[in-house]
Amino acid sequence: MSPSFRIGLFAALLALGCDDPKPGAGSAPTGKPSAQPTAAPVEAPTTTSVSMDDTAVTVNGTRIAFDGPSPRARIATELAGKPKIAGETVPLVAQRNAKAARVAIAVAALKDAKAAGVLVRTQKRDNATGELPVGWVDAPVACSAVAMIAKDVSISVWTVGGTVARRFAKGMAGPDLTLGSDGFRKGASTCDAPIAYVAGDEGIQWGLVFDLALAAKEGGEGGAFRAQKFGLVLEPPVPGRKVTPL
């Protein structure tokens, strides 16, 4: 083999080697692409938490202050569309020191948000948690009993339609819950109505109204408490006068 032939053969082999692609070069990847990490889906809440003190109502962590215009409308707007509100009996945790009138505003907002009723949970005097079923009707029965705690913490009992009120003076350390609740229970027990009404004068704390309602509901010498729920009043009523409930 001549030297020139060997050089030509070597050049040809070298050219063929350069044409061969390196493994993986210029070709589509043979493996599957690696999966990109994805964020976990955010689960929508399945229930709604509603609580309040004397300054605000809190809905799923969002506080709506009573100070400012139209608190009832602002609370109802926050509640609108939330789960377990429309058509449901909604638990409302209310602090004892909240004003009774502000509890009525919160309940009115729940009514506006299409709740079927409210179960108000409040600490009792023995520190246990009590529950008060609260509701409303389109047309209150005129003989429905009303019990109100006045500024001097006396208790007055009369009817929604308006009758002479019975007054129970202040006890040794606050409202006379024994006589007042007995009078309230007797008034409710003589009327075939699903709701009896409780109220507090301006500045009266919800805890006192709550205690009065529970005392009437849970027993005594005045007979069975026929009403299944309690109703609230937005504006403090005048004892003996006709009442416009929530």
Span 86-93, mean pLDDT?
Answer: 98
Q: Where are the alpha helices (DSSP H) in 193-243?
A: 206-218
b/e map of 7-16 (b: 16 or more CB within 10 Å)? eeeeeeeeee
CA distance 154 to 136: 25
Instruction: Give the per-residue pLDDT at 45.
Output: 73
Q: According to the model, what pLDDT value does residue 112 have?
A: 97
- For the chain, the first-to-last Cα distance in angstroms comes to 116
64 vs 67: CA distance, rounded Å: 9
Find where tokens 């506006």 sit: 112
Helix (H, G, I), strand (E, B) or coil at 205: strand
Mean pLDDT of 170-189: 90
Lowest mean per-residue pLDDT among 20-29, 115-124, 194-203, 205-214: 20-29
The secondary structure element, H or E, covering residue 59 is: strand 56-59
Percent of the chain with pLDDT strictly greater than 90: 73
Q: Nearest 5°: CA angle at 223, between 201 and 116?
A: 55
Range 195-205 average pLDDT: 96
Q: What is the pLDDT of residue 34?
A: 58
Q: Give the number of other CB atoms < 10 A from CB of residue 49.
A: 15
Which residues have CB under 8 Å from 217's CB, separation 6+?
Answer: 132, 185, 225, 230
Assign residue 80 a region (left: φ > 0; alpha: ψ between -120 and 50; beta: otherwise): beta
Model confidence over 218-245: pLDDT tens digits?
876 656 688 889 999 999 999 999 999 9
Q: What's residue 103's pLDDT? A: 98
Average pLDDT over residues 50-73: 97
- pLDDT of 162 higher than 60: yes
The tens digit of pLDDT for each residue in 100-112 reads: 999 999 999 999 9
Enter the tokens of residue 87.
Answer: 């058509």
Say what the alpha-carbon torsion angle 144, 148, 154, 156 is, to the nearest 10 degrees.
Answer: -30
Under the banding of pLDDT at 50, 70 and 90, the label for residue 9 is very low
DSSP 120-172: EEEE-TTS-EEEEEE---SS--TT-EEEEE-TTS-EEEEETT--PPEEE--BT
